[in-house]
Each structure stands twice: as C-alpha cells, then as structure tokens.
C-alpha cells in the first residue's frame, strides 16, 4: 500500500481561482526560474530524486483517482505509467547532465546550458497524472519553472498531483513557485497565459485544436499530432508473441495512449492463425462489425463517449455478445480509405483488421492508413525479416516504429529503449516542431563559447558557474500593497505589472484571440460530449 503524501499544506504553490491570477502565477514562475537557473548539478539531482520518489509513492492513488474522475482507462495500467514517468524517468536520465558546462578541447568550444525559463504545460485527460509527472520532472531536470494547465475532465487529480510534487520540490530545496498549477482552468485564463510574454515555451499534449492554439499563441511551442497506428504482421513473425503483444497493447489502459494500435494488417497466409492466437480478442462477424462501427462512429465520426471504455462494455452497448474477459473487439474491413471509419484512430479497444496478400502490400496498406491520419506519429511491425523491417521503416511516414513489441508501450519508450515520453513529436511530416519523444533536451538550449581556430583553448576543468544554494531559498517576495485577496492554502503574491510588447493592430489581435478561443473550446469540449 502506498502512503499518500499530505496535501493539506501547499503554501508554496499558487492556487488559481480566477483569470486575474494568471499574471501572478507567471511572475512567480519567472522569479523561480531565475533562481533555479543558478543551481548546480548535485542540487538539481537531489530535487529530481526527491520529487520522483514522492510521485512513485502516490502512483496508485492518483491512478485510481484519474479513473474515478475521468470515467475511463484502467487504474492498474495508469499506475504503471505513473511509475514509468516518475522513478522510471528519473532513472533513465540519471547519467545525463543538463546543468554543467561542457568543454570540447578538440573543437575549442565551451557549451553552457541555458534553461528555457518558464514552461506552460497543457496536459490531457487521457494520460493525466502520468503527463503531469513527466512534464514536471523534465522541467526540474533542466532547471525550469513550470505551470501545469490540466484538462478540465482531469482537473482535480492533476491539480492535487502537481501540488504534491511542488511541495516535494520545495522541501528538497527548489525555489518557491518552481511548480504551479492552474486550479480552475477556463478558456480566457488559458488563452491569456499561453500568449503572455512571460511564458518561454508551451508544451502542448492533447488534441489538434490545443496544439494549433499553442502554435498560434505567439510564444515558442512544442506540440504533437494525433496517432493512427498501423501494425503489420508478416509471415515470418513469431505469431504467438505477436498475438499476445498486440492484444495486451491494444487493451492497455483501454487504448487511451495515442500510441495504441489502430489497424492490424496481416498477411493472408498467417491471418487466420494469428487471429486464433489472439486470446482475449473477439472477432466480430460482419453484422456485429457494422453494429459496433455504427455505435462508435455515428455519422462517420468517432464518438468520444467510448474513449477508454472496455471492450465488453462497448460490445454490450452495440448488442454484441462476447465472452467474459474479452479485451479487444477485432473488426475486419476491406480497404484503408478515408470513408472507412475503422481505418481511423480509435482511442478504445476496437482494432481494425485488414488482410493483405503480401508484406509489400501490407506496407502499402500501412501508408494508406497514415494518409488518413497519424502522419509522423508511430507504427509497429512484427517480423523476423530485416529486409521487410527496413523497408517498412523507410516507407511509413512516421518517426518511430516498434519492432516485435506492443506499440502502446513501445513507441512511448516504456518497453523499448526510446525515451520514456507522454508527448510524441511528429516532426515536419506531422506538422510538429518536435520530431522525437519529448525529453529533457527539448527544454534547454546551449550557449556556444567558440574560440578562434588558431587560439589556445582555456582549461575549464573543475570550473562551474553555478553553486549550491546557500541555505533555504527565500520565499517569493510579497509586496505589502498586494492587490490580491488571500487564497486558502496558497501564498499571496502581488499582481505584477505586465511586461509590455509592441502592440499589434487591434483587428489582428482580435482575430487571433477569437481563433485561439475557438480552437481551445473545440478541444475542451471534445471529451465531454454526452
């Protein structure tokens, strides 16, 4: 049993009760970022280790809370993600250094790390607490301050998790305000904070509307696109292993991860054997398939009521009888075309099945699936033929391919040596500024101090511009004439003067705000339709 960390005293994190708290939070974050940027490596390591430990201790509690609050997913699987994004993440980067200068005598270049500063992080309802853990730890590893803006459907569990990690960070020596959370996210608040010049980078994990809004905010942004993962199984595959891993992956957290398999493409020669080995999968008859398709895709559009619901419940709603313990509904279809709903992304345990005469045709089918959606995201293949694997990797327009592994945990780095990540970059092909799994290096730049090629290089051994804090960091300074009313369990800070920037024409500003509002509203409403 994990012991919950008390959250009754979180005075070091600002609670947000209305839109006018945004500037207060960002000013506090900017103050914390300036202080944190001077910490040395041992101090940063101590903070990261302490926060990761507290996060892992609360992994089960927050997993159960997330399922209760959002109504979808599997608590056991969410707990695994929470551990992977806490102590697992800290362990994976234990040998990395994003704090100390690096001297390259051969190239005569001294590289000095420069944190981004203030990170504004949008987190989804599908992987709520894992993403909060993930983004907070990445920020702490790179000496950034972070403000978490949780999805409204997962607001309570995410806010509590952020407060818990904030308290752990400050107790380990981090500056006051280094981690904050928007307690009551509203459209005007999110809109204004994303566009605020005190934000140095936005990290957006969510639907396309949120990512687009982040990119249009005027601040640097790291965002990702949607998935629609094809998985190819050829005649050389270990069918027992492939069948087990595909079922486990597709049912993992009820297909909440955007890396879950969407369409299974099987060579005709092994398709029947593969399906027979997929224990826990129910092969739908044509009539059953049509009923499930019409239910899950009414009018051809995915109904978000089925996000993260289990296979048996979906079958029951469609009037389909399945065995107890059914994890996946296997839905055969004939062509990967946009008009076929089953060829689209499905954030629920309904897996499309497409049979192909050869591996070469399977590669073509995977490309067709990705033309519908999911370009740049991820794909999977089960094969023992290096030539086919290489041709698949070169042909599919994605930036990560899992081989002989379930893609839900493969492309997210949990079951492969890819970076563990809850934010999957889709690169240029997917319209994203990031092409890799988001990792600490994305939140730090390096100043290059370059010598003349003929000049002697300096001796920088044992030199470090940073130093450990000399005792506890003083709290964020509160002015005596602060204009904000006290908030329970939160420090009170003054409303600072906004940093000014050249004004844009009123019409352009109005159009931008209207567009941001429209896109955010679309995203926030997408998972709460009845």
Q: Active-site residues: which are they?
A: 258
Cα-based torsion angle of the residue sequence 464, 466, 467, 468 in order, rounded to the nearest 10 degrees: -130
HSE at residue 221, side-chain half, CA atoms within 13 A, is: 22
Question: In 375-466, where do the E strands start and end?
Answer: 379-382, 401-403, 444-450
Q: How far apart are CA 104 and CA 110, in angstroms?
A: 6
Contacts of 333 (CB under 8 A, 6+ apart): 289, 340, 342, 343, 352, 353, 354
> Are 9 and 167 contacting, i.e. CB atoms less than 8 angstroms apart?
yes
State the DSSP code for 496: P
> Residue 300 region, left (φ>0) first, then alpha (ψ -120 to 50), else beta?
left
Burial annotation 53-88 (CB, 10 A radius, 16+ → b, else e) = ebbbbbbbbbbebbbebbebbbbebbbbbbbbbbbb
Widest Cα–Cα separation across the chain: 78
State the DSSP code for 437: B
Between the alpha carbon of residue 24 and those of residues 14, 144, 174, 476, 487, the distances in Å are 8, 17, 19, 11, 12
**Torsion sign across C-alpha atoms 213, 216, 218, 221:** positive
The DSSP line for 294-337 is HHHSGGGS--GGGTT--HHHHHHHHT----TT--EEEEE-S---
Structure tokens, 47: 């903070």
> Are 271 and 236 contacting, i.e. CB atoms less than 8 angstroms apart?
no
Q: At what angle do helices 59-70 and 155-171 cross, to 10 degrees?
A: 160
């Amino acid at each position: 049993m994990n012991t919950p960390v008390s959250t009754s005293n979180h005075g070091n994190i600002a609670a947000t009760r209305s839109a006018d708290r945004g500037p207060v939070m960002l000013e506090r974050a900017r103050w914390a970022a300036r202080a944190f940027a001077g910490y040395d490596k041992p101090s940063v390591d101590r903070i990261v280790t302490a926060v990761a430990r507290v996060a892992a201790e609360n992994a089960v509690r927050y997993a159960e809370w997330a399922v209760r609050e959002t109504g979808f997913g599997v608590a056991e699987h969410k707990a695994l993600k929470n551990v992977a994004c806490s102590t697992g993440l800290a362990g994976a980067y234990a040998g990395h250094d994003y704090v100390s200068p690096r001297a390259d005598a051969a190239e005569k270049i001294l590289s000095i790390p420069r944190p981004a500063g203030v990170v504004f992080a949008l987190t989804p309802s599908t992987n709520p607490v894992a993403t909060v853990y993930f983004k907070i730890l990445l920020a702490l590893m790179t000496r950034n301050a972070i403000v978490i803006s949780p999805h409204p459907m997962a607001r309570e569990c995410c806010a509590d998790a952020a407060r818990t990690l904030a308290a752990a960070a400050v107790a380990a020596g981090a500056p006051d305000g280094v981690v904050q959370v928007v307690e009551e996210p509203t459209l005007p608040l999110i809109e204004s904070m994303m566009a605020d010049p005190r934000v140095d980078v936005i990290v957006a994990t969510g639907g396309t509307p949120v990512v687009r809004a982040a990119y249009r905010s005027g601040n640097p942004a790291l965002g990702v696109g949607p998935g629609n993962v094809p998985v190819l199984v050829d005649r050389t595959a270990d069918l027992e292993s492939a069948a087990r891993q595909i079922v486990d992956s597709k049912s993992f957290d009820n297909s909440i991860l955007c890396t879950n398999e969407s369409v299974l493409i099987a060579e005709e020669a092994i398709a029947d054997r593969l399906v027979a080995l997929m224990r826990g999968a129910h092969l739908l008859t044509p009539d059953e398939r049509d009923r499930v398709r019409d239910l899950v895709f009414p009018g051809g559009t995915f109904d978000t009521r089925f996000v993260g619901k289990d296979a048996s419940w979906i079958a029951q709603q469609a009037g389909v009888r399945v065995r107890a313990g059914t994890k996946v509904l296997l839905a055969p279809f004939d062509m990967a075309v946009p008009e076929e709903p089953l060829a689209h992304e499905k954030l629920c345990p309904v897996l499309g099945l497409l049979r192909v005469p050869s591996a070469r045709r399977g590669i073509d089918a995977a490309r067709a699936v990705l033309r519908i959606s999911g370009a740049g995201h991820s794909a999977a293949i089960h094969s023992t033929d290096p030539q086919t694997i290489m041709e698949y990797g070169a042909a599919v327009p994605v930036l990560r391919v899992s081989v002989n592994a379930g893609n839900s945990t493969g492309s997210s780095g949990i079951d492969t040596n890819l970076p563990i990540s809850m934010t999957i970059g889709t690169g240029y092909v997917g319209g994203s500024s990031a092409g890799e799994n988001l990792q600490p290096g994305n939140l730090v730049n390096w100043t290059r101090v370059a010598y003349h090629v003929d000049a002697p290089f300096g001796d920088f051994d044992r030199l470090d511009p940073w130093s450990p804090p000399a005792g506890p960091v003083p709290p964020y300074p509160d002015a005596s004439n602060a204009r904000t009313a006290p908030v329970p369990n939160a420090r009170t800070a003054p409303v600072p003067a906004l940093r000014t920037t050249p004004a844009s024409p009123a019409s352009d500003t109005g159009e931008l705000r209207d567009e941001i509002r429209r896109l955010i509203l679309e995203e926030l409403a997408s998972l709460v339709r009845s």
